[in-house]
Amino acid sequence: MVISNKPLRFILATFVACLPIISFANSETDSTKVQTEVTHEAVAEGHHEEAHAEPTDVKSKIKGFINHHVLDSHDFTFTQDDVTGKHYGFSLPVIIWDNGLHVFSSAKFEHGEAVAESNGSYYKINHHDGKIYRTDASGTITEDEKTGHPKNVRPLDFSITKTVVSILAAALLMFLLFSSLARSYAKNGGIASGAGRIFEPIVIYVRDEIAIPNIGVKHYKKYMSYLLTIFFFILFLNIFGLTPLGINATGNLTITFSLAILTFLVTNFTANKDYWGHIFWMPGVPKLMRIVLAPIELLGIFIKPFSLMIRLYANIFAGHIVLMSIIGLMFIFKSWIGSSLSFGLSFVLSILEILVAFLQAYIFTMLSALYFGSAVQEHGHEEAHV
């Protein structure tokens, strides 16, 4: 292992596992009808017309539906009654640090309508960007005239939002599944038993087809735990996103940013001298070229994890938007042929999304293994490079 002291390793692993939790709650919430940057301009006009009442025409309802699925939110809304406006779901806690810890249920916000009061300070969700601001008792948010940004103070937002619940659920699921799988080996004499058996060939696949060919037989064991964690974490989060609960974890730039940062840190902190030599003073290249190539390689250190982040985010986010739009198309075509064709198309697209879920997990893991392999490769690999 990279660090051989077991308690220290455990503490570091727990710390690293909690890193996605402390990424600040992303600009959110669908419950206040806030749009993402993609649909922002398209609905800027529509946004001003709809008051805080429920949307009535089909297109706004579809946009609300897409936003419910794709944006983060302070409550789990399973469904809502359009006529009465009643939401069925449960509220998640809001945890704010604003010169003191404020913890309250997001039901106080009443889906963005009311001003929440906690220990004497008042907070309100701003309708334009979905973030929580400190206001006075009447909930005024003063906006800067030039930029349109609110001038209110923004407290640090550590809330348990929908996305945080989803990553905690994925982590718990992984922990339960794989610990029971590991225990079943001891009980059954080296053969897996129970429901975890389905993961054994996948684990072996990650070891034999991803880790060993890219990292090499000597060093792959150090990285196996990280690669397996990344693979199953992304896979489970992608699959969660395909459920109708409205969870969109990997389609969230902060989550993929955290994962890419982890790959970046592991690559650069476990690299040996040859890695840095290859970046800044590459052998086999004329000296003048080396000076030209070194900045490009330096940029490459940052761009490679950046591309990991963008690739996962864009694939999952775009897939969800397209899928939700086609489901919404079912309600725009009110004819029997249009709606059934849209239904068929959305069904087929869902199957494609399952493939994309597996593929993106595989690609992220494989590219991480590739970067780790380049970090620990020995000097003798010189001749292997073309």
Partner 1 sequence: MTTIPNIIGAGLIVIGAGLGIGRIGGSAMDAIARQPEASGKIQTAMLIAAALIEGIGFAALFAS
Query: Which residues contribute to the site for partner 1 (CB under 8 A)?
Result: 38, 40-42, 209, 307-308, 310-311, 314-315, 318, 359-360, 362-363, 366-367
CB 27 within 8 A of CB 130: yes
Query: Least distance (Å) from partner 1 to the CB of residue 320?
Result: 13
Closer of 161 and 360 to partner 1 (Cβ): 360
Query: Smallest distance from the beta carbon of 53 to partner 1, in angstroms?
Result: 27
Q: Tell me the C-alpha distance between 222 and 207, whole Å.
A: 12
Least distance (Å) from partner 1 to the CB of residue 78? Answer: 30
Cβ nearer to partner 1, comparing 123 with 371: 371
Q: Quote the least distance from Cβ 231 to partner 1, whole Å.
A: 14
Q: How far is the CB of 41 from partner 1 (least distance, A)?
A: 5
- Cα atoms in the 13 Å half-sphere on the side-chain side of 340: 3
At 253, list the tokens. 């730039």
Query: Considering beta carbons, is residue 341 or 363 the nearer one to partner 1?
Result: 363
- Comparing CB distances to partner 1, the nearer of 9 and 47 is 47
Residue 135 parent element (H or E): strand 132-135
Shortest distance (Å) from residue 363 CB to partner 1: 4
Task: Tell me the sheet residues that pair with 157.
Answer: 96
Angle, alpha carbons 245-246-248 (nearest 5°): 125
Q: Kindly report the CA angle at 244 between 242 and 245, in degrees rounded to 5?
A: 105
Phi, psi values for residue 116, rounded to 5°: -90, 140
Q: Which is nearer to partner 1, 235 or 308 (by Cβ)?
A: 308
Q: How many CA atoms lie within 13 A of 103 on its CB side?
A: 4
- Quickly tell me which residue has 């000597």 as its tokens: 218
Q: Which is nearer to partner 1, 195 or 318 (CB)?
A: 318
SS3 87: strand
With H, G, I as helix, E, B as strand and everything else as coil, classify residue 52.
coil
Of 18 and 44, nearer to partner 1 (C-beta) is 44
Question: What are 105's strand-pairing partners?
Answer: 93
Cβ 335 to partner 1, closest distance in Å? 27
- Residue 231: closest CA among 253, 263, 257, 270: 263
